[in-house]
Amino acid sequence: MLIGYMRVSSQSQDDKNGYARQKQILLDYGVEDSEETLYYDVITGTSIKRPALDKMRKFIRKGDTVVCSELSRLGRNTKNCLELIEEFKEKGVVFIAIKEGIDTSTAMGEFFLTICSAFNALELSYINERCIQGRETARKEGRSLGGRPRKDQKSLDEAMELFKDSKLTVREISNKTNVSPSLIYRTAKERNISRDGELNNS
């Protein structure tokens, strides 16, 4: 059985990728106009809910063929398309994207998907590389991974020296060094420092 799937971004989307255009392409290809053979989602914004697609995935059986007017109608991105096509293959279902000429029952169709998978893996590799570079840059700039700048070590050391001298209140030390009172107390405890140079055992 030929099963057609359509997706548009909104009801007002122009006819280039709109419902009427996609439906006519599928009908011309041979998909019957019925509730069992045509599935249609309207996705607004970044919504990932696609009730018609989910319904179709439950309906299709081994030997069926899922048809879209073009590959971009099937998934939100390359990774999503590949995951869905792999799911179809596991069920013994062929996938066809008319515009791109993709047919997973042919050698060329399989080759195209192999290329798509390679590009998707490359894209993920670039994303991971950029994340690593971003973390490294954050460390060099003294920022935590969450993006909040770490307190300047020199200011913190100065605050600890003033704390040990006991000549200034913690509030005065904070104003002088721009280190918060809570950080002063916490660092003093971590370094086991108390006022007057005694060990902080609290």
pLDDT at position 161, please? 87
Query: Could you give the CA distance from residue 202 to residue 188 in angstroms, rounded to a whole number?
Result: 10
Query: Could you tell me if 40 and 99 lie in one domain?
Result: yes
pLDDT at position 197, please? 46
Q: Is residue 13 part of a domain?
A: yes
- Which helix (H) or strand (E) segment holds residue 119: the answer is helix 107-140
Burial of 65 (0-12, 13-18, 19+ CB in 10 A): buried
**C-alpha closest to that of 98 among 35, 15, 5, 8:** 5
pLDDT at position 151, please? 56
Tens-of-pLDDT digits for all 202 residues of the chain?
999 999 887 655 454 558 889 999 999 999 999 999 999 998 765 567 889 999 999 999 999 999 999 888 888 777 888 889 989 999 999 999 998 888 999 988 878 777 776 665 656 665 666 777 676 666 665 555 554 455 578 888 888 888 887 778 888 898 888 888 888 888 888 888 877 544 444 4
Q: CB-based contacts of 116: which residues, under 8 Å, 6+ apart? A: 78, 81, 82
Q: Is residue 35 part of a domain?
A: yes
pLDDT at position 3, please? 97
Query: Could you tell me if 58 and 12 lie in one domain?
Result: yes
Query: Could you tell me if 26 and 95 lie in one domain?
Result: yes
Contact of 73 with 22, CB cutoff 8 Å: yes
Query: Could you tell me if 101 and 140 lie in one domain?
Result: no
pLDDT at position 25, please? 94
The alpha carbon of residue 138 and the mean position of all alpha carbons in its chain are separated, in whole angstroms, by 21
Q: What is the pLDDT of residues 76-92, one digit of tens each?
A: 777 888 889 989 999 99
Query: Could you tell me if 27 and 82 lie in one domain?
Result: yes
Structural domain count of the chain: 3
- Domain hosting 144: range is 108-150
**C-alpha closest to that of 67 among 128, 132, 137, 7:** 7
Q: Is residue 201 part of a domain?
A: no
Query: Could you tell me if 128 and 170 lie in one domain?
Result: no
Q: Is residue 10 part of a domain?
A: yes
- How would you list the strands of the sheet with 102-103, edge to edge? 38-42, 2-8, 65-68, 94-97, 102-103
Query: Could you tell me if 98 and 19 lie in one domain?
Result: yes
Could you give the residue numbers annotated as active site? 9
pLDDT at position 196, please? 58
Q: What is the pLDDT of residues 43-57, one digit of tens each?
A: 765 567 889 999 999
